[in-house]
Structure 1
Amino acid sequence: MTIFRIITGSYEHALLCVSVTLADDKTIQPVFQPIFHFQAHSLSIRALDIAKRYLVSGSNDEHIKIYDLQKRKELGTLLQHQGSITKLLFSDDTAEESDFLTHKNGRWLLSAAEDGKIVIWRTKDWEQFGILKGHTARVNDMAIHPSGRVAISVSDDKTVRLWNLMTAKKASVMKLKGVFTHGQSPNLCCFTSDGEYFAVGLLNRLIIYETREAKIVAIFQLKQTLMQMQFVTLDNREYLVVANGNGTIQFYTLERVTQKNEETEPLDTPEFQLQGHANRVKDISIYKEKQNDEVVSYLVSISSDGKIVIWDLKLKDQVAVYDTGERLNVVATVNESVEKALRPRPSASTKEVESEYESDGEVVLRRADRKKIKKRKKKLLKVERE
């Protein structure tokens, strides 16, 4: 049996979390349990990520909200960008072993926006560590190298930039121009599991780079509009997962996409393909965990049709569908155990001191505006299981 949680952000400004229980016997129907559903922002939600016990969401309202999933409460807001938040990304730089293979334990949060800036936040105390400056237009996507030391970003300024996260400085810049791009801006980027290669996605083109030399290995023409992409390892074989505008999700082997070509060529028939949405796939999330020395892998896809579709990647088949009734935009997954029993209250002899810090063993967040503290406390998440 596998139990995990799916969190989505919608055009209707809402965050929705459901817990799904999937039995090993696929003849048994999956069980969905709503956890919370509330208006988190004043405009559409465009970015989500999860690490440790924290959920962050970013919106067109320029705010980044932080939530404690264990306590089910809002911790505060990060206000640094002037423009819609386009990407939120936690680092995954832990050496700790866990049965939950896709759950991050990041020390850093990277945020990007339409203002062209990338801000590095230290999650220990949510203080700003640095700002990566260089892009002159909206930052569309970011990815962090498996080492945690390097990041890449793509922007409407038609550049791909590599950043040294240790110094918060630019490492190199690659300009996209000429017949290879046909004037398209890069919208997506991702690293392979070992960081040897990274992919950059345009509207209907895919460019593969070798990381060390930052050189182009291959360029592919896509038949459909590219909506999302991500590398994933299944049965010791790595695939590039491509989500398309026609509702399909295609899997290409790493060997295929890194096969050198000197001219743009069409990306031919995928290793396998999933079809579960009537229209464009807006986002995907991979969930993995160890069970009895085996790894179970699920892919969760969402669409503006309001449906959450869960795929068993071992069976290569759809195993569950949940209709939210909202236009979904982003999705993230997390293990069920993220919500643990709260610590016991301190004894009566212990004096509790109220401050503008939430404390659970580390500083969580300082409220930016004292006048809003009381209002925020009234708005703390009070969500009960349905």
Structure 2
Amino acid sequence: MKITDSVLRSFRVARTYRENSDKVNCLEYSPNGENAISSSDDDRIVVYDITQGKPIDTLYSKKYGADLIRYTHGDSQKVIYSSNKLDDTIRYLSLTDYKYIRYFPGHTARVTALSMSPVEDMFISCSLDKTIRIWDLRTENVQGLTEPLDRPICSFDPDGLIFAVGVNSQFIKLYDVRAFAKGPFNSFELRMNRSCDWTGLKFSNDGKQILISTNGGMICIVNAFTGDVMHKFSVGPFHICYKPIENLEGLSSILTCLIAHLKGYNNSKGLKLEACFTPDSQFVMIGSEDGRVHVWSTENKMKVAVLDGKHPGPISALQFNPRYMTFATACSSMTFWLPSVEDF
């Protein structure tokens, strides 16, 4: 099934799980799309089987806490995760025997971003200690370290050849992984709303766009080659794209979307709300503090859907499955979505 605006509007909640008692900080699909994992403020790490549609295991990180979590390259049985208690060491964990394989010490403040290379056993981390570090899973020794950079966030590109760093909510710096010590080979200054901070940075799967999420009511798409701002999605002029109404359910969906569009997506409390691309790079999605998911087209900037998952709190984490037509959202509960077959 191809991802289209009508397919996205058809998505409905398939399953909701309440395994957590506190906010989910991060969720991640495995590279093959068959599993998902989440980390939460209640110190739980929950593993989900997507093919069976249910949670299959819960691990506890009570001593260290659990903040950001990522599957390692090509492996659905190993993860790295950062802490929000005790220290700021990154931990490499086996999900088969629940033992730590390795520790990556060095950061002296909370880790703000973790990004795993899509092609090798390498990852990068950013921290409020103003450093970016390059790591190899095979050794605890840091492989590269930057000079201080204010409020950095980072992400690998889909080919694993370069990575982008957001600095001080103003600059994007591009680094060649193999020539990291030479500094960035390109840098862009983005003239955006400085009243909000950048909280996330992601490449599209085609490598042509960079998505920047903020703690305000705006997300932004940047050309990955030129640094030009292509789209800003926020409260703005009314424009929305829909196909002809075919049933009452379609009318209800449109009215819901129109109302939500007039307000934009809600983030009045300055929360860190995750945004993501769909796997085809044609749409962007972000959760809202009112529990809804907002979807825009990256081609024409039109809002194409507003989906209500009945979340009791703000959607702190959102990811589209890399292999299957499903996505997940989380607040303190985890919700998995599927398109409605009846609509097609």
Encode CA deviations 1:259-303: one digit per residue, 9 max, x unaligned.
xxxxxxxxxx61233334243671112222xxxxxx573322112
Please state if 1:192 is matched with 2:157. yes
2-structure distance, mates of 1:32, 1:338: 8
Q: Provide the secondary structure at the position in 1 that maps to 2:282.
A: strand
Q: Which amino acid aligns with 1:34?
A: V
Partner of 1:367: none
Encode CA deviations 1:234-278: one digit per residue, 9 max, x unaligned.
5xx611112234423222212223xxxxxxxxxxx6123333424
Q: Is the 8 A contact 2:190 2:229 kept in 1?
A: no
Q: Is the 8 A contact 1:54 1:69 kept in 2?
A: yes
2-structure distance, mates of 1:170, 1:109: 18
Encode CA deviations 1:355-374: one digit per residue, 9 max, x unaligned.
xxxxxxxxxxxxxxxxxxxx
Among 259, 265, 268, the alignment partner of 1:277 is 265
- Change in Cα spacing, 1:337 to 1:309, as seen in structure 2 (3 Å) is closer
Q: Which amino acid aligns with 1:282?
A: L
Q: Which amino acid aligns with 1:155?
A: S
What is the CA distance between 1:197 and its match in structure 2? 2.6
Partner of 1:46: 25
Among 68, 71, 85, the alignment partner of 2:52 is 71
What is the CA distance between 1:138 and its match in structure 2? 1.6
- Change in Cα spacing, 1:137 to 1:209, as seen in structure 2 (3 Å) is same
Among 18, 23, 26, the alignment partner of 2:6 is 23
Runs of 5+ unmatched residues, structure 2: 235-263, 328-333
Please state if 1:318 is matched with 2:303. yes
Q: Provide the secondary structure at the position in 2 that maps to 1:135.
A: coil
Q: Is the 8 A contact 1:60 1:83 kept in 2?
A: no
- Change in Cα spacing, 1:40 to 1:62, as seen in structure 2 (3 Å) is same
What is the CA distance between 1:83 and its match in structure 2? 4.0
Q: Provide the secondary structure at the position in 2 that maps to 1:67.
A: strand
Higher fraction of strand: 1
Q: Which amino acid aligns with 1:231?
A: F
Q: Which stretch shows the higher mean deviation, 145-154 or 192-201?
A: 192-201
Q: Which amino acid aligns with 2:12?
A: Q
Q: Which stretch shows the higher mean deviation, 53-62 or 35-44?
A: 35-44
Q: Which amino acid aligns with 2:295?
A: I
1-structure distance, mates of 2:187, 2:82: 27
- Change in Cα spacing, 1:200 to 1:23, as seen in structure 2 (3 Å) is same
- Change in Cα spacing, 1:89 to 1:299, as seen in structure 2 (3 Å) is same
Q: Which amino acid aligns with 1:200?
A: V
**Aligned-residue CA RMSD (Å):** 3.2
Please state if 1:156 is matched with 2:147. no
Q: TM-score, normalised by structure 2?
A: 0.71
Among 119, 122, 126, the alignment partner of 1:147 is 119
Please state if 1:82 is matched with 2:41. no
Partner of 2:317: 330
Q: Provide the secondary structure at the position in 1 that maps to 2:88.
A: coil
2-structure distance, mates of 1:296, 1:137: 33
Q: Provide the secondary structure at the position in 1 that maps to 2:138.
A: coil
Please state if 1:220 is matched with 2:165. no
Q: Percent identity?
A: 21
1-structure distance, mates of 2:273, 2:326: 25
Q: Which amino acid aligns with 2:125?
A: S
Q: Provide the secondary structure at the position in 1 that maps to 2:286.
A: strand
Higher fraction of helix: 2
Partner of 2:82: 112
Partner of 1:136: 108
Encode CA deviations 1:51-79: one digit per residue, 9 max, x unaligned.
14222111112221112233333332333
- Change in Cα spacing, 1:226 to 1:319, as seen in structure 2 (3 Å) is same
1-structure distance, mates of 2:281, 2:216: 27
